[in-house]
Structures are given as C-alpha cells and as structure tokens.
Structure 1
C-alpha cells in the first residue's frame, strides 16, 4: 500500500518538471562549491604557501560530516511546509543573505590573506550548502520512481558541474579585464575598459539574489506536492523511523560486514589521484604556466564534457563494476598530466600544441571523474533505503567526501616537507603506486558487492516482522537476512 501511494504522489508531477527543479537546486549548490573552490586560486595569486592552502581545505569538511545532522532533516519537519521544504526554504534564504553580506568584504580578505577568517566563513557557507544537499538528495529520491531513480544521480552530475562552471570558470574569466576586453568588448566593438564584466562583489551579490528568487519559485511550484507527500508519509508512518531509531539504524549499518567492504571502496580510492586533483591547478599558477583568467577560460569548454558524460550512463546496469573499470585509466592519466607539467615550459613556445594538449588532458580528467561520479551515485541511489532516504544517501556520500577531503589535506600538508621543485612529481608518483595497490585489493570486492540483492543493504524493522505475525511492538532495527 505504501509503495502504491508513493508512486501515486510521484505520478502527479511530470518527469521533466522533477528533473528541472532538482537541476536548478543542484546548480545553486554547484555555484557555491565553485566559488569556494577558486578561493585557493585567488590566495595562490597573492602568495599563499602550501601550508595555508592545506588549511583552506578544511572548508569542505562539512560535506564529510553532514551525516551527523542528516537524521534531523529526515525526522523533524513542519507539516504545513513538508519534510524537505522545512529545511530547504530557510537554508537557501540564509545562504542568499550570507552571499550578499560577504560580497562587501571578500576582496579585502583575499588580498590580505586572512586565511583563518576565510576558512571560518566558507566553512559555514559549505555547512549550509551541505545541509541543502541533504534536502535535495532526499527530495530527489521521492520525486523519481524506482524505474528512473538513476535520474537522481544524473541530475546531480549535470547540475553541480554546471553550477561549478558558473562559479569558477565564468567567474575567473570574466572578472578579468584582459579576458573581457578580448572576448567581449573587442569583438563587439566596445571600448576597452580596465575592469572585467563584473567584480567579485557583484558576482556574489547576483547569486545571493538568485538564491532568494529560486527559493520563492520552487516553494510556489511544489507546494501542493509537498503537502500531498507529507500526508502520504503520515498515513504510512508504520514504516518510518523516529530520530533515535534513525541514528541507531546508521550505527547498526556499521556492524554489517558488507558495509565494511563498501566503506573501504568509497573512502580510500581518492589517494590514488589525490596529488593530481589537489595540486595540479595550483602548480599551473605557482609556476606561472597559466594566469588565473587563462585557467578559467581553458576550463570553459569542459562544461560540455561534464554535462554530456553523465547522460551516457542513464541506463547503466552495474555501476560499481563500471566504477572499477575506469579507475586505472584515471590513474594513468595522472602520470600524463604530471609529464605535461614537467615539459610545460618547453611546450609554451608552441602555443597551439601546448593549449591543445592541456585541454585534452583536462577534458579526459573531467570525463573519468564524472563517469566515476555518476556510476558511484547510481549505485548509492540503488541501495538506499527510502525510509530514511536523506540520511542513508548522506551516510554514503559523507564517507566518500571524507575520504576525498582527508586525502587532499594530507597531500597538501605532506608536500610542504618535500623539495619544492620536485614535490608535485614525487606526490603524483607515490599516489599512483597507492592507487595500483588499492585496485588489486578492490577488484573482486566490487563485483561481489554489485551482485548482492538490494535488500541486503537495508535493515528490517522488528515492528514489520511482528505485524506479519499479528503483533504490535515498539519498532527497532535489525539486519535484513540476519547479516551483521
């Protein structure tokens, strides 16, 4: 009965409308992450050290810790607003206001290298956007039926990159006076100016306003759906968990042997390409291979790859296996990127070859990253228990993000002890060896976990078992199939 009622609520909304609203929310999320990501480039241009850069990586840790408060979002809500909108509405308003206020102070913080202040401010911004991510992930799981659940992952893997593109590439390129004059003013016959298309402050204020406008629009369009969905959930609350039970559910998941294997697979693969991911863009700026605006311009065409690649996996059957198959090519690509950086000073005199190779390497790097991300997201969505959708999906993504954050922080902190001229190449080589070892241990494991039935990843309520025998007792959770 519950599944039929849920599908009835979903069927009232066209698929295109669900995809559109989820995409918009993920775009706003991506813009925020893009702005936070390029902060390291701004401080690098002002002479920040590797140690200061490692401190800035702390701003992304809320994405790794959001499991701590995800159950609150699944359990506590205002009935009139709906389960997701109770949290989504105020969070987006807060983010909009924070962006507008920060726009008046950010440039001064960057130029004077107030690393501690920047870290604290963006830590809280990412804290709120991580909470928004919990809401959107959980909402997407209810909007898309089991037959098209992969659209949750696809929407995320398209919306976030598009937002990242706007918050990083567009910002870096058109905030620059030189790039704006060459790409816009000169071709259109406008007078060249000593400033860009917009300032950093104007960019932040614009997106702050967009947060506020989008929040109002989404609230109006989906108000009826939230009310219907909430009423349906309350009518079928026999399968829902309260706050304590939700936390106990997650704790008991850690006792399952299969989850021990899955934790290894999602937390440790980052170390194979941590140096390439965390250091390459900084090396390009520190060695004056690229300017900030040139880096933004080069990464612009890559948005086509980031958007189209996830669509190729809209009907993937074995996502976890596919993830493993793309791991070694990504490792090898990291070696080619390091070789390119090593010979970059000699190749710069051949500008066509230099920029062509750079775009190809960046494009392949993004393609493999987003192929893996889409496959991983599809597997997470497949095994997620819909009774605690936000919490379960957040549990998996948080641990994955924690592995990425730890690997990046560790690499940036460690390279400060290495010889400056060779630190990048040593780090890439060591990470490549670690990645090869990881793949040897993980290959069979990915096939084994992929072939498990979906029920194997869920815990069963005692109450459900008792109802089958005509009894009513206080609900607790136990592993499905008795597997612990």
Structure 2
C-alpha cells in the first residue's frame, strides 16, 4: 500500500521518455540497475540477522527495508511501463485490445515461470550439517528429525538462495548482451511489420 503513490506518479514521470519511437531505450538503461540490485537485495538478506537486537529489529531496519523495496519497485515498474508503451505503439489497431493483450500475456508468462523454476532449485543447492553429527547432512525431513532428536541443530554452510542469486545475475548479464541488440532491432522495425495480415491467401492470387 505504501508503494501505491509511487506506482501512480512513476508513469507520469516516465511519460515523456516513452512516448517516442524508442520507448525501450528506457528499458535498456534500467535493466542493468535492476540486475545490480540483485546483489544489494542479497546483501540486505545476509545482513538482516546481524541487525537483530534482543530478538527485535531496530526502527532504522524497517526504514532500510522500505527504501530498498521502493528503489526496486522503481526499476521494476519502469521496465513494465516501457514495455506497455512499446506494445501500445506496435499493436495493430484493427484488432483493438486483443493484440496488446496477447503481448502483455506473453510478458507476464515470461516473468512468472522463471521465479517458480528458480524456487525449485533452492533446496537442492542448499547444503547443511547437523551441529552434533557432521555426517548428518540434514538433506531431508527424516535426517532433520534425527538431528533434532539428538538435541542438535541443522546449519547451512552453503545457502541455495545466494548461489541462485549469483547464477541468475550471470545469466542476466549474458541475456543483456543479447537482449539489447534484439530490443533495438525490434523497436527499429517499421510499424507495418507488426500489422496482422488478415487477408485470405486465395484472395491475393
């Protein structure tokens, strides 16, 4: 809810940058910032337990949390707005909102399935040990129970979250090298290339 004013004002601030022929230029400029913010967020997650004082977080922690989340939302929403501006520019008006809805749906799918896929690998890339039995790797609920029954605790020495942040950041850098050129090529095409040819091939003979 606290981000609602930001989401309302951001499109207004971005309007003059995305109404031209190259709205995706903003996307290309913002993408590295969002990618770098992966490391900022991971660092904040890592430092969070160390900021706890007597089982409570100090007030400034919540301020940092809102600030980091707010900056992330700026990058995220800026990319979203530029994509919508590009879709509005290239959509075939003869098909109304159907064309733009299709492009938007594909965008949402492209942004959703990687999150689910990545979460599936977190446990597999997390490595633990039992505090009172180093041979117990706590890799499943039964081993965790054995550790706890022996009054031990399972500790992570490799956290899959940080491993995946690193892997995804590298993938993002590789994608950026390919994506920038592809985006420039797509938005440089003539608008007629985006029109739907609804004529019957037999009628063209």
- Measured after TM superposition, the shift of residue 439 of structure 1 is 0.2
1:310 aligns with 2:11: yes
1:348 aligns with 2:85: no
Match for residue 117 of structure 2 among 386, 406, 410: 410
Query: 1:401 & 1:302 partners in 2: Cα distance?
Result: 20
Once structures 1 and 2 are overlaid, which stretch shifts more, 378-387 or 349-358?
A: 349-358
Q: How does 1:270-349 map to 2 (within 5 A)?
A: 300-315=1-16, 316=18, 317=20, 318-349=22-53
User: Hey, what does 1:372 align to over in structure 2?
Assistant: 79
Are the structure 2 counterparts of residues 409 and 475 from structure 1 closer, same or farther at C-alpha, using a change threshold of 3 Å? farther
- The 8 Å contact of residues 461 and 475 in structure 1, kept in 2 or not, is answered as no
Superposition RMSD in Å? 2.1
User: Hey, what does 2:178 align to over in structure 1?
Assistant: 441
Match for residue 187 of structure 2 among 443, 447, 450: 450
Q: How does 1:18-417 map to 2 (within 5 A)?
A: 300-315=1-16, 316=18, 317=20, 318-349=22-53, 351-417=58-124
The structure whose residues are more often helix, as a share, is: 1
Deviations 1:424-458 (A, max 9, x none): 11111111110000001111222222222211111
User: Hey, what does 1:424 align to over in structure 2?
Assistant: 161
Aligned length: 168
Aligned residue for 2:189, secondary structure, equals coil
Unmatched tracts of structure 1, length 5 or more: 1-299, 464-472, 477-484
Deviations 1:162-194 (A, max 9, x none): xxxxxxxxxxxxxxxxxxxxxxxxxxxxxxxxx
Unmatched tracts of structure 2, length 5 or more: 128-155
- The 8 Å contact of residues 319 and 378 in structure 1, kept in 2 or not, is answered as yes
Deviations 1:374-426 (A, max 9, x none): 00001001100112223211221121122122101101112131216412111
- Measured after TM superposition, the shift of residue 461 of structure 1 is 4.1
Deviations 1:226-267 (A, max 9, x none): xxxxxxxxxxxxxxxxxxxxxxxxxxxxxxxxxxxxxxxxxx
- The 8 Å contact of residues 320 and 446 in structure 1, kept in 2 or not, is answered as yes
Provide TM-score, normalisation by structure 1. 0.33
Are the structure 2 counterparts of residues 361 and 453 from structure 1 closer, same or farther at C-alpha, using a change threshold of 3 Å? same
- The 8 Å contact of residues 121 and 160 in structure 2, kept in 1 or not, is answered as no
Aligned residue for 2:183, secondary structure, equals helix
Provide TM-score, normalisation by structure 2. 0.74
Query: 2:84 & 2:2 partners in 1: Cα distance?
Result: 24
- The 8 Å contact of residues 52 and 58 in structure 2, kept in 1 or not, is answered as yes
